[in-house]
Amino acid sequence: MKIKLFYFAKVREMVGIDQEEVDVESDIKTLAELIAFLKLRGSQWQAIFDMSSSFRMAINQELAEASCKINANDEVAFFPPITGG
Amino acid sequence: MIMSVYVQQDLFDLQSITQQLKKLHNSGASVTFEGYVRDFDLGDDKLEMLELEHYPGMTEKALLNIESLAMNRWHLDDVYIVHRYGKLKVGEPIVGIVVFAKHRKEAFDACHFIIDFLKTDAPFWKKEITNHQSYWVDAKKIDDGKWN
């Protein structure tokens, strides 16, 4: 199952890329499971995702919670808490 | 009832926007909010520039959603939101909001609601660039529930 991933601001700098496409097993059904999969990549990935206060998520450009379901071809984004305005 | 959002690098002139919009409506009140790049000086660490990153696509959606929420909650004639991204100098405007309504209370409340929601729901991130370093601005704790 293919998912598009986008990273912004401090999260983008920590992971070193701004976007990618991943092909994950279909048993990954939620954002929480996707995060567990990404954390296997190493310490920078763990550092971001171990602290719930350090990042927010969106699915198809809408803010989402860890329990939200993901589907094939979804656009998932990870970014720090918002500081606009 | 008109809604519009603009996400741009260029400067904007909220006064002339307000004057233009005023001609379209028979409103009794308009309330505008304008946010600027605030100067700070921590010893020899002086702010030179702000860099704003955003999430193209989601930003516009989020701003339109905030406008819809305000429109559904108050009786408004018009809502206009403009937010900049990219490199901004000290003193330059970052965000502008104009709300037109028949009565002042609706215009005040809606404008306040929009800027509060924008600060938690519109995907923008500020990086402060001083003469010595650059760092991402931490999000402030928001008093959730104010508008529930």
pLDDT digits (tens, 9 = 90+) for B20-52: 999 999 999 999 999 999 887 777 788 889 999
Q: Which residues of A touch B (CB under 8 A)?
A: 6, 8-10, 58, 61-63, 77, 79-85
Report the pLDDT averaged over residues B92-121: 96
In-domain check, residue B147: no
Mean pLDDT of chain B: 92
Is the pLDDT at B1 greater than 70, yes or no?
Answer: no
How far is the CA of B57 from the CAs of A21, A26, A71, B46, B127, in angstroms?
Answer: 18, 27, 20, 33, 20
In-domain check, residue B31: yes
In-domain check, residue B112: yes
Is the pLDDT at B126 greater than 60, yes or no?
Answer: yes
pLDDT confidence tier of residue A40, bands split at 50, 70 and 90: very high
Residue A53: the pLDDT is 79
For residue A85, the one-letter residue type is G
* Dihedrals phi, psi of B147, to nearest 5 degrees: -105, 15
Yes or no: say if A29 and A40 are a contact pair by the CB < 8 Å rule.
Answer: no
User: Looking up tokens 């199952």, which residue turns up?
Assistant: A1
Burial class (CB in 10 A: 0-12, 13-18, 19+), B67: buried
CATH 3.10.20.30 fits A2-79, yes or no: yes
Is the pLDDT at B2 greater than 80, yes or no?
Answer: no
In-domain check, residue B123: yes
In-domain check, residue B54: yes
d(C-alpha A74, C-alpha B107), whole Å: 38
Which structural domain range is residue B130 located in?
2-136
pLDDT confidence tier of residue A85, bands split at 50, 70 and 90: confident
The three-state secondary structure class of B138 is coil
Domain harbouring B32, CATH code: 3.90.1170.40
Yes or no: say if A15 and A45 are a contact pair by the CB < 8 Å rule.
Answer: yes
Instruction: Give chain B positions within 8 Å (CB) of A62.
Output: 58, 61
Residue B76: the pLDDT is 96
Domain count, chain B: 1
Nearest to B113 by CA among B145, B80, B70: B70
ipTM above 0.90, yes or no: yes
Q: Which residues does residue B128 pair with via DSSP β-bridges, in sequence order?
A: B50, B135
Of the residues B124, B128, B134, the best mutation for testing chain A's interface (the one with the most A CB atoms within 10 Å of its CB) is: B124
In-domain check, residue B21: yes
